[in-house]
Chain A
């Protein structure tokens, strides 16, 4: 299978077959900016907050959050005005869990949860 790469700051980074970063240790903010541009998201402080949140989530639980648990965890941390799917879909229209984890350099969340 062909390996695909992206080039960020003159460095080649390997992607997995879903277009997510293959090694989450490769991540830096420039990677999020690169993916955001590709997915036509203009990053705001609200986006960065979610990106940091899913990274912390991964650190804590060892797994990428799917949408339900992301909403729940956001509600616990930031209250209901940010912990709801409408808010998250406004920031990441193609699917908050899918897009936020990609921008954050994490593996794609499981489809079945």
Chain B
């Protein structure tokens, strides 16, 4: 059975991509596929910010993704260099700081889907 890697490159606030990734993950898991990793790169690292404060009627897609990953034991990684450049020194605890090298290595046995 196919194992998937997900790469997200856009901000959770600026597009629908996180929502699409969430839907993809749910559908994949329900169908019995495994997800090897979700990697946040470029502006997607904003999802890992510790102090996100959204109005109650706006979905916190990064947090939803973090919960999904926690429940299903999926490594949710973000690029530390991309995060440092954006001033995020101490991101939320559900997100794992990693390098592009780790993303590259985990990619070996999985099919990549980009959002």
Contacts and interface: CB of A to CB of B under 8 A. Distances in A.
Is there a direct interface between A and B, measured as CB atoms under 8 Å apart in the complex?
Answer: yes
Interface of A: 68, 110-113
Main secondary structure of the interface of B (DSSP, over half): helix
Contacts of A113: 81, 99-101
Interface residues of B, number: 9
B55 to A, nearest CB: 32
Interface of B: 79-82, 84, 98-101
Given A111-B84, A112-B79, A113-B81, 7 more contacts: A68-B101, A111-B80, A111-B99, A112-B99, A112-B100, A113-B100, A113-B101
A19 to B, nearest CB: 15
Nearest to B84: A111
A113 B82 CA distance: 11
A63 to B, nearest CB: 12
